[in-house]
Chain A
Amino acid sequence: MVVRIRGAAKAFGPVTVFEGIDLDVHQSEVVVLIGPSGAGKSTLLRCVNGLERLDAGTIDISGERLSYQQGPLNRIRRNVGMVFQSFNLFPHMSVLGNVMCAPVKVAGRPRDEARQEARQLLDKVGLADKCDSFPSSLSGGQRQRVAIARALAMRPQLMLFDEPTSALDPELVGEVLEVMRALATEGMTMIVVTHEMQFARKVADRVVLVADGGIVEQGSPQAVLDEPATPRARAFLNAVLER
């Protein structure tokens, strides 16, 4: 099992975001978190690599308990790639520099090896010709693909996607989802927060609906999206799918 979450709870001040969340993610599984805005999907995702602290509960990643001590936390983070809604590429580094930076400076890999691997990754996300460009000259879709390559460069066991297409123009969403789909096909373990229901339907092994501070429903995409069992799930899906 790659991720094991037990009794996770999080509050911002007096506001409870979620509590009592249990969630397992298995090797090569693609888990898509859906749910209304503010339901805590992103917060839950950010707890998995310690960007947010749980107030209660535990998270184990590949059998290692997530702690907030710098050393162990940084070690776990090397194995957990994260892709952000707003890309967060390093604007002062070239595309190649963005992808190479962590492998060289964090993992301590030889520069030549890291460069070669970075080129391969950029080729994989269809940006081999952009190695020497700077992020500011790229489109949103291209930036997000670089961000995916940057996360993959650390050879993570698990990839977290936090609404990776929400900041993109509609016509650029497809190219990013395509890269993610390819990654899923290769067997990458992924947790994806998204509002793209088509992606959830086609790529997810399991869809998890988070609402009202907890997991309302989970199961295969067909089960959750087509035959939701709870009124809460039906209400959410009606609102989303009728758009």
Chain B
Amino acid sequence: MQWLSDFIDTAPVFLDALWLTLQLALWSIVLAAVLGAVLAYCRLSRLGPVRALAAGYVSLIRGTPLVTQLFIIYFGLASIVTIEAFWAGVIGLSVHNAAYVAEIYRSGIQSVPTGQVEAGRSLGMSSWKTMRLVIAPQALRTVLPSLGNQFIIAVKDTSVAAFITVAELFRTAQIVAAEKFRPLEFYVIVGIYYLVIVLLLSGGVRMLERRMGRYGV
């Protein structure tokens, strides 16, 4: 039972790293959800330049690897500002995920029939109230599965922060594996940690879907 003892022996180290991974994931998901909303709003703006700017952001971020983005923020910007590795990770991951989240929001907003907007406006709602009370709740329900999927990717992508020295799960696995000369065991173990987070998260998303699905369209 070498595996089990490996797992138990390293649990304290991995649990610390897990905590860091969770913080990284939570911060970047929350910030991406907010920044993504702003971006989606810009992409659907009536003003051409605002639309173009948001579209440019999305293509730039989607067109470059996450690891490059993190390196630019942590190593690249070091000559201008020093950002603590953890926060560089949070910023990079948020900026990255926001581009995808924005596209998901946009598709959701566009999936709501125009009749809904007209109904809201005909009752005297401002465009902001129509968005908040009528469009957003319906759009959110439609995109919940895609959004959940993106957040799962976001959780796993926190592992890239290992390469800018954040001592999260994957970096910890690298260190432990190197110390004990048993890469197979410890990379499998770290995989299991990620798997558990993702399974819990997707269970949560499914529960949310069921709760929001009660009005069934």
Contact residues of A with B, CB < 8 Å?
49, 51, 70, 74-75, 77-78, 80-82, 84, 86, 88-93, 101-102, 105-107, 134-136, 150-151, 154
B129 touches A105 (CB 8 A): yes
B114-153 Cβ-contact flags toward A at 8 Å (1 or 0): 0110110111111101000110011001000000000000
B217 within 8 A of A: yes
Known: A86-B115, A91-B217, A106-B129. A51 touches B137 (CB 8 A): no
CA–CA, A51 and B123, complex, Å:
11
A84 touches B118 (CB 8 A): yes
B37-71 Cβ-contact flags toward A at 8 Å (1 or 0): 00000000000000000000000000000000000
CA–CA, A106 and B129, complex, Å:
8
A90 touches B125 (CB 8 A): no
Contact residues of B with A, CB < 8 Å?
113, 115-116, 118-119, 121-127, 129, 133-134, 137-138, 141, 214-217
A51 touches B121 (CB 8 A): yes
CA–CA, A74 and B122, complex, Å:
8
B126 touches A70 (CB 8 A): yes
Supplied contacts A82-B118, A84-B122, A88-B116, 14 more A-B pairs, CB within 8 Å: A70-B126, A74-B124, A74-B126, A77-B124, A84-B118, A92-B138, A101-B133, A102-B123, A102-B124, A102-B125, A107-B124, A134-B214, A134-B215, A154-B123
B215 touches A154 (CB 8 A): no
CA–CA, A194 and B166, complex, Å:
67
- In the complex, how many angstroms separate the beta carbon of A190 from the nearest chain B beta carbon? 15
CA–CA, A105 and B122, complex, Å:
14
B215 touches A92 (CB 8 A): yes
A77 touches B123 (CB 8 A): yes
CA–CA, A74 and B121, complex, Å:
7
The chain B residue with its CB closest to the CB of A154 is: B123
CA–CA, A205 and B163, complex, Å:
78
**15 examples of A-B residue contacts, CB within 8 angstroms:** A74-B125, A77-B121, A77-B122, A80-B122, A90-B138, A91-B215, A91-B217, A92-B138, A102-B124, A105-B125, A106-B129, A136-B215, A136-B217, A154-B123, A154-B124
- In the complex, how many angstroms separate the beta carbon of B157 from the nearest chain A beta carbon? 31
CA–CA, A157 and B125, complex, Å:
17
For A154, list chain B residues within 8 Å (CB): 123-124
CA–CA, A151 and B129, complex, Å:
17
For B123, list chain A residues within 8 Å (CB): 77-78, 101-102, 106, 150-151, 154
For B115, list chain A residues within 8 Å (CB): 84, 86, 88
The chain A residue with its CB closest to the CB of B217 is: A91
Q: Contacting A92 at CB < 8 Å: which of B113, B121, B125, B137?
A: B137
What are the 7 A-B residue pairs with the smallest beta carbon separation, nearest first? A78-B124, A88-B119, A102-B123, A82-B122, A88-B115, A134-B215, A77-B124
For B113, list chain A residues within 8 Å (CB): 88
CA–CA, A49 and B121, complex, Å:
9
